[in-house]
Amino acid sequence: GGWTRLAYLDMSDATQNCPFGFKLYQSGGVRACGRTNSSGGCVSVQFPSNGISYSQICGRVTGYQYFSTDAFHGPSNLDSPYVDGVSITRGSPRKHVWTLANGLMDTYNTYSQFMCPCSTGSNETLPSFVGNHYFCESGNNSSGYSQILYTSDPLWDGQGCGSLESPCCNVPGIPWFHRDYGSTTTTDYIELRVCGDGGATNDEDTPVSFYEIYVK
């Protein structure tokens, strides 16, 4: 059989709305959906498999950096806001599928502890459950950071990686993530969370403007 789409959002279509519980950002022609937490945390949307038994998952996500995101600088438990960015999991208890992380900056090594782990000179370590199943990008090419939505550089599209970040764009498949579980099938629902480990959303957020997730 072919691929079945379980999840779809395209906020460039003015008739589409954010998932329930997500906050709408509008800036420079970009509409995106992010966190509402008053402290560190995640907002979540679940996509039932509708009884489809699958052994593969693929998809892509586009997000944008808001203010001071720091990728994996935080707790390292899958159920916690372990990333500034997007966590895609399946089932309960959660099983990690893919992480789309958002580092602080991509061109200047001002804060190496807040940079994508794939960036040159980064001091970040990946949680063990993530492994190589992640993309990471920053939308900020300056030497500081501002309380804005960095709309000029969409994240996880394999484009616009800064000089330190080029290894992050040079990964197989990007912008598509893909997991193949071989002969193991499941009917698990899929969950997409937008997470931030720091304070309120006015501190850091990575709202998403587009996603699509397929199974087969």
Q: Is the pLDDT score of 201 beyond 70?
A: no
Query: Could you give the percent of the chain with pLDDT greater than 70?
Result: 98
Q: Is the pLDDT score of 50 beyond 60?
A: yes
Note down the domain range covering 163.
4-215
Q: What is the pLDDT of residue 82?
A: 96
Q: What is the pLDDT of residue 199?
A: 63
Q: Is the pLDDT score of 202 beyond 80?
A: no
Q: Is the pLDDT score of 196 beyond 80?
A: yes
Between 5-14, 143-152, 166-175, 193-202, the lowest mean confidence (pLDDT) is in: 193-202
* DSSP label at residue 174: T
The whole-model pTM stands at 0.97
Q: How many domains does the chain have?
A: 1
Q: What is the pLDDT of residue 200?
A: 55
**Could you report the per-residue pLDDT of 120-140, keeping only the tens digit for each?**
999 999 999 999 999 999 999
CB 102 within 8 A of CB 91: no
Q: Is the pLDDT score of 161 beyond 70?
A: yes
* DSSP label at residue 54: B
Q: What is the pLDDT of residue 150?
A: 98
Between 61-65, 106-110, 152-156, 185-189, the lowest mean confidence (pLDDT) is in: 106-110
* DSSP label at residue 40: S
CB 47 within 8 A of CB 193: no
190 sits in which H/E element: strand 190-196
Q: What is the mean pLDDT of residues 184-206?
A: 89
> What span, in angstroms and rounded, lies between the C-alpha atoms of 60 and 167?
19
Locate 193 and state its tokens: 């969370």
Q: What is the mean pLDDT of residues 200-207?
A: 80
Q: Is the pLDDT score of 2 beyond 80?
A: yes
Helical ranges in the chain per DSSP H = 166-169
Q: Is the pLDDT score of 119 beyond 70?
A: yes
Q: Which amino acid is at 126?
A: L
- Bridge-based pairing state of the strands 190-196 and 95-102: unpaired
Q: Is the pLDDT score of 37 beyond 90?
A: no
